[in-house]
Structure 1
Amino acid sequence: MSSILNVAVVGCGIGRSHIVEGYVPNADKFKVLALCDLDPERMAKIGDEFGIERRITNFDDLLTMDDIDIIDVCTPPGVHYSMVMKALEAGKHVVCEKPLVGSLQQVDAVMEAEKTAKGKLMPVFQYRFGDGIEQAKAVIDSGIAGKPFAGTVETMWRREAPYYAVPWRGKWKTELGGVLMGHAIHPHDIFTYLMGDIARVFGRVATRVNPIEVEDTISASLEMKSGALASFTATLGSVDEITRIRLQFEHVTIESDHAPYNPGHALWKILPRNDEVKARIEALLANWQHVPSRFQTQMARFHEAIEGKRELPVTSADSRRSLELVTAFYHSSSTHQEVVLPLGPDHPLYQSWVPAEFR
């Protein structure tokens, strides 16, 4: 029988979604025992809604609570690193919203700390989960798709003045980046999850839509380690909102559902090149078991990982790959040069991609 793990949710913004989508549907696996937020009024509202009586304003107080198994960090990005490191040092399991930390140096420090930590760390990439994306992943991993040729990612969302009324948004020091960091990071993670590692990046970033410090429009040309070519484009100035991922393989064309915030949920378009390929796909997916989307499946698999029943569904190495792309993007845009991955301590932006004047 599975044990129920006690959770403290830190940050009652996106933290509410973790509760609604992740912990409530998995009530046989988790119990949210505590909330932590600097805004007592907002915390009280969430606490009353879900019957969570323990409400803390000082994060460090959570670290000494022996009955807390998991600390779920849902704060603005600028404080993720310190909270993750403290929680690991305290022996807790840790869930952390994207971006995990604010530099390659920090993610490497986190990965080093994990080697001796008692608890497990799971970064959040909830868009990976759901029937659509998992069927696509199954077809690719089975070898049916064949050689990858090319792919595109379009993250066309809409953010206007009310979004940036939240004080930490749109600022380098607290958000650590713009559309590249807080929005397109999800579809870009999906792309590398399905297509593998990136070898080279030529990217550009611009602030075109809103009067903010960080970028809200980006575009890039990429070469994958497989040799496949790709293009990424994102903006926060779209009228409607879509997330579209299209992958071209030797034997199939795969296109995501266009739902901006839940692209993994609905079935994806998987087009076979011929009847033989079609039959192989149908056989592979014949006894498909439904996979709930977003946080529900990610949290359930985290529980299984803690109990030793499976590997972590998302790892700090996955986060490093996403932050490596972010670093390469900013460096390429500022230097107008192609960037070769992977990036190590000798890279100029290893310690931080945030411009010096905003640190």
Structure 2
Amino acid sequence: MSRILNVAVVGCGIGRSHIVEGYLPNADKFKVVALCDLNQERLDAIGDEFGIERRIVNFDDLLTMDDIDIIDVCTPPGAHLPMVSAALEAGKHVVCEKPLVGSLRDVDAIMAIEQTAKGKLMPVFQYRFGNGIEQAKRIIDAGLAGKPYCGTVETMWRREAPYYAVPWRGKWKTELGGVLMGHAIHPHDIFTYLMGDIARIFGRVATRVNPIEVEDTISASLEMKSGALASFTATLGSVDEITRIRLQFENVTFESDHAPYNPGKELWKILPRNEEVKSRIDALLAGWQDVPSRFQTQMARFHDAIFDKAELPVSSADSRRALELVTAFYHSSSTHTEVVLPLGPDHPLYQSWVPTEFR
């Protein structure tokens, strides 16, 4: 049986990055056989660039194509729920760009569909992959880092008027949020991936940089379930662009590479407490094998999950944790109160965090 999976990419914006970074480097695992986009000009441009002949404008047509194994949803966030649901119900494997959906209610609905679905669902959090973050994760999981003390996440990016010329950006109904949803969601996911679950948060959001509906500046104070403390800050008005994650543990301090859009790729600064800790870390990392960053490794591990019963590299539960943070952030900012996690169906923003006037 062939182990090459046929992929249909829906949305030729970020979908192009999935092809270039994720599928082409894994040509022994995937073949992109179809594209779907409402914009015929963009559809033809990407189809011609990569020699993909099947070009579809009606998403539903993909659901009946028996030779398609994976539907990769790269549309604006507001379209994710019906597409992911339909693809799972049609028996397809599904890859979906972040955010998976636009509310805790919707992510719980997707997770319910997963329980009986034939295919697997993998949300995208490509920033998790690369040598730097993988080494930090291995040290933490091995117990060498010790007790977590505190951490900081700074997402200092820049977005100006041309970025918001794309019609769906900067609007609640289609983007579902601002810097929290489309930008800092990646570094925040890295933080919880390494430091565990959040217990409570006091957050603030503001629109300071651009004349848009959604927020472009945020700040928060957090307490982790471990007892560790953390602070998150992000803006889309920075002059230069960096992503900086610094984690303080009992035995080790980690600091990420500052590359804004690939903080996991390069080796992180690892500062052991003493020579004994250093020796144990050196032994753990001896013979380290390169881990390609971003989509290349995420897609390769998705293939492993499908064929070799490996764990999904990113799960819908990971997406729920990210969306729970977003929900708590918006609620805390609007009520000026601390929010305790986890959040269930009884939370006021469970059905939607989008302000009523924009739904």
Tell me which interval the TM-score lies in, with the shorter structure as reference length.
over 0.9
Matched, 1:126 2:129: no
Whole-Å separation in 1 of the counterparts to 2:10 and 2:324:
26
Q: 1:43, 1:267 → 2: CA distance? A: 37
Q: Deviation at 1:287?
A: 1.3
Residue aligned with 1:31, SS: strand
Q: Report if aligned partners of 1:302, 1:312 keep a CA contact under 8 Å in 2.
A: yes
What is the count of residue pairs matched by the alignment?
Answer: 359
Deviations 1:77-133 (Å, cap 9, x if unpaired)? 000001000000000000000000000000000000000000000000000000000
Residue 182 of structure 2: aligned partner: 182
Counterpart of 2:61, as a letter, is: D
Confirm or deny that 1:339 pairs with 2:339. yes
Counterpart for residue 144 of structure 1 = 144
1:69 and 2:97 equivalent? no
1:7/1:33 contact within 8 Å kept: yes
Residue in 1 that maps onto 2:170: 170
Give the equivalent residue in structure 1 for 2:326: 326
Q: Which residue of 2 aligns with 1:270?
A: 270
SS at match of 2:323: helix
* Alignment match, 2:352: 352
Shift of 1:304: 0.6
Measured against aligned partners, the alpha-carbon deviations of 1:175-209 in whole angstroms (never above 9, x if no partner) come to 00000000000000000000000000000000000
Tell me, yes or no, if the aligned pair for 1:69 and 1:93 is still in contact at 8 Å. Answer: yes
Partner AA of 1:199 in structure 2? A
Match status 1:82 vs 2:82: yes
Q: Report matched runs for 1:1-150 at 5 Å.
A: 3-150=3-150
Tell me the alpha carbon deviations over residues 211-265 of structure 1, each in whole angstroms, 9 at most, x when there is no partner: 0000000000000000000000000000000000000000000000000000010
How far apart are the structure 2 equivalents of 1:102 and 1:62?
A: 23
The CA distance in 1 between the partners of 2:354 and 2:49, in whole Å, is 38
What secondary structure, in the 3-state scheme, does the structure 2 residue paired with 1:25 have?
Answer: helix
Identity rate, percent:
87
Which amino acid is 2:273 matched to? R
Gaps of 5+ in 2: none
Structure 2 counterpart of 1:177, one-letter code: G
Whole-angstrom distance in 2 between the partners of 1:148 and 1:118: 39
Structure 1: which amino acid aligns with 2:243? T
SS of residue matched to 1:24: helix
- Write the distance in 2 (CA, Å) between the matches of 1:27 and 1:52: 14
1:128-156 CA distances to partner (integer Å, 9 max, x unpaired)? Answer: 00000000000110000000000000000
Separation (CA, whole Å) in 1 of partners of 2:263 and 2:40:
34
> Match for residue 292 of structure 2?
292
Equivalent AA in structure 2 for residue 347 of structure 1: H
How far 1:282 moved relative to its partner?
0.3
**CA distance in structure 2 between the partners assigned to 1:230 and 1:10 by the alignment:** 37
Task: Tell me, in whole angstroms, the C-alpha distance in 2 between the residues paired with 1:258 and 1:8.
Answer: 33
Question: Could you give the per-residue CA deviations for residues 6-42 of structure 1, whole angstroms, max 9, x where no partner exists?
Answer: 0000000000000000000000000000000000100
Secondary structure of 2:47's aligned partner: helix
Q: After TM superposition, give the deviation of residue 309 of structure 1 in Å.
A: 3.7
**Secondary structure in 1 aligned to 2:118?**
coil
- Which secondary structure does the structure 1 equivalent of 2:117 belong to? coil
TM-score where L is the length of structure 2: 0.99
Residue 251 of structure 1 aligns with which residue? Answer: 251
What is the identity, as a one-letter code, of the residue corresponding to 1:134? E
* 1:279 aligned partner: 279
How far apart, in 1, do the equivalents of 2:331 and 2:161 lie? 28
Contact 1:205–1:217 (8 Å) recurs in 2:
yes
Q: In structure 2, how many angstroms separate the alpha carbons of the residues matched to 1:268 and 1:152?
A: 15
Partner AA of 1:253 in structure 2:
T
Cα distance in 1 for residues equivalent to 2:157 and 2:204: 18
Q: Distance in 1 between matches of 2:137 and 2:197?
A: 15
Structure 1: 5+ residue stretches without partners: none
3-state secondary structure, aligned to 2:310 = coil
Shift >6 Å, 4+ stretches:
none
Q: CA deviation at 1:2?
A: 6.0
Preserved CA contact (<8 Å) 1:11 1:37: yes
Shift of 1:308: 2.9
What's the TM-score once normalised by structure 1's chain length?
Answer: 0.99
Quickly say closer, same or farther: Cα 1:116–1:61, change in 2 above 3 A. same
Q: Cα RMSD between the aligned structures?
A: 0.6
**1:2/1:29 contact within 8 Å kept:** no
